[in-house]
Structure 1
Amino acid sequence: MAIHHLDSPTGRIADNVIGFARTLRASGLPVGSAAVIDALNALRLIDIGNRADVFSTLQAVLLTRHEHALIFAQAFELFFRIAEQRNNMLDSVPLPDQARKPPPSASRRVLEALSQPAITGEREMPREHEIRPSVSDREVLQRKDFAQMSAAEMAEVMQLIAKMELPQAKLRTRRTRPDSRGSSLDLRRTLRGGLRTGGEIVDIHRLGRAGKSAPIVALLDISGSMSEYTRLFLHFLHSLTNERKRVSVFLFGTRLTNVTRALRARDPDEALAACSSVVEDWAGGTRIATSLHNFNKLWGRRVLAQGAIVLLITDGLEREADSKLAFEMDRLHRSCRRLIWLNPLLRYDGFEPKAQGIKMMLPHVDEFRPVHSLSSIEGLVAALSRAPRPTAVVPPSRSLNEWHHAGSR
Structure 2
Amino acid sequence: MMEYAPLDLPENPQLTRNITHFARALRVAGLPAGPGRVTDAIAAVAAAGFSERAEFYYTLRACFTARPEHRAVFDQVFRLYWRDPRYLEHMMSMLTPAVRGVAEDRTAKAAEKRAAEALLHGVDRDVPDMGDADSEQGTEIEIDATLTMSREEKLKTLDFEQMSVSEMAEAKRIIAQMTLSVPPLMSRRTQSAPQGARPDWRRTMRGAMARGGDVVEFARKERRTRWPSLVALCDISGSMSQYSRAVLHFLHAVSNQKGAGWAQVHAFTFGTQLTNITRHMGARDVDAALAAAGAEAQDWEGGTRIGACLEAFNRDWSRRVLGQGAVVLLITDGLDRDEPERLGAAMERLALSSRRVIWVNPLLRWDGFAPRAAGIRAMLPHVSSFRAGHNIAALAGLAEAVARPDDPGEKARLMAALRAA
Name 2:401's counterpart in structure 1.
383
Aligned mates of 2:363, 2:376 — CA distance in 1: 11
The one of 314, 317, 324 aligned to 1:306? 324
Name 1:170's counterpart in structure 2.
184
Matched residue pairs, number? 269
Q: CA deviation at 1:364?
A: 0.9
Aligned mates of 1:159, 1:382 — CA distance in 2: 21
Name 1:393's counterpart in structure 2.
408
1:262-341 map, 5 Å: 262-341=280-359
Aligned mates of 1:188, 1:178 — CA distance in 2: 9
Counterpart code for 1:158:
K
Q: CA deviation at 1:190?
A: 10
What SS class does the counterpart of residue 400 from structure 2 fall into?
A: helix
Is 1:217 matched with 2:237? no
Q: 1:226 to 1:188 in 2, by over 3 A?
A: same
Question: Which is further off, 139-148 or 355-364?
Answer: 139-148
Q: 1:153 to 1:177 in 2, by over 3 A?
A: farther
Unmatched 5+ stretches in structure 2:
1-121, 123-147
Name 2:253's counterpart in structure 1.
239
The one of 378, 382, 391 aligned to 1:364? 382
Is 1:145 matched with 2:163? no
Aligned mates of 1:206, 1:138 — CA distance in 2: 51
CA contact (8 A) 2:330 2:357 kept: yes
Q: 1:208 to 1:265 in 2, by over 3 A?
A: same
Counterpart code for 2:231:
V
CA contact (8 A) 2:185 2:226 kept: yes
CA contact (8 A) 1:263 1:274 kept: no
The superposition leaves residues 189-221 of structure 1 with CA deviations (integer Å, 9 ceiling, x where unpaired) of 89979x9xxx7857x553211112211111100
Aligned mates of 1:322, 1:395 — CA distance in 2: 21
Identity among equivalent positions (%) equals 46
Counterpart code for 2:333:
D
Q: CA deviation at 1:188?
A: 4.0
What is the TM-score of this pair, normalised by structure 1? 0.60
Aligned mates of 2:151, 2:250 — CA distance in 1: 22
What SS class does the counterpart of residue 189 from structure 2 fall into?
A: strand
Counterpart code for 2:293:
C
The superposition leaves residues 328-349 of structure 1 with CA deviations (integer Å, 9 ceiling, x where unpaired) of 1111111111011110000111
CA contact (8 A) 2:362 2:389 kept: yes
Q: CA deviation at 1:399?
A: 3.7
Name 1:185's counterpart in structure 2.
200
Unmatched 5+ stretches in structure 1:
1-119, 121-133
Counterpart code for 1:310:
V
Aligned mates of 1:377, 1:214 — CA distance in 2: 20
Q: CA deviation at 1:181?
A: 4.9
The superposition leaves residues 294-320 of structure 1 with CA deviations (integer Å, 9 ceiling, x where unpaired) of 111111111111111111100000022
Aligned mates of 1:189, 1:362 — CA distance in 2: 51
Name 1:230's counterpart in structure 2.
244
CA contact (8 A) 1:309 1:338 kept: yes
Aligned mates of 1:246, 1:184 — CA distance in 2: 33
Aligned mates of 2:388, 2:339 — CA distance in 1: 22
What SS class does the counterpart of residue 261 from structure 1 fall into?
A: helix
Aligned mates of 2:306, 2:387 — CA distance in 1: 18
Name 2:362's counterpart in structure 1.
344
Q: CA deviation at 1:184?
A: 3.9
Q: 1:181 to 1:353 in 2, by over 3 A?
A: same
Aligned mates of 1:300, 1:156 — CA distance in 2: 36
Aligned mates of 2:364, 2:197 — CA distance in 1: 43
Q: 1:363 to 1:135 in 2, by over 3 A?
A: same
CA RMSD, aligned part only? 2.8
Q: CA deviation at 1:137?
A: 2.3
Counterpart code for 2:250:
F
Aligned mates of 1:289, 1:184 — CA distance in 2: 50
The superposition leaves residues 369-391 of structure 1 with CA deviations (integer Å, 9 ceiling, x where unpaired) of 111111111110232234x23xx
Q: CA deviation at 1:167?
A: 1.3
The superposition leaves residues 108-129 of structure 1 with CA deviations (integer Å, 9 ceiling, x where unpaired) of xxxxxxxxxxxx9xxxxxxxxx
Q: 1:186 to 1:263 in 2, by over 3 A?
A: farther
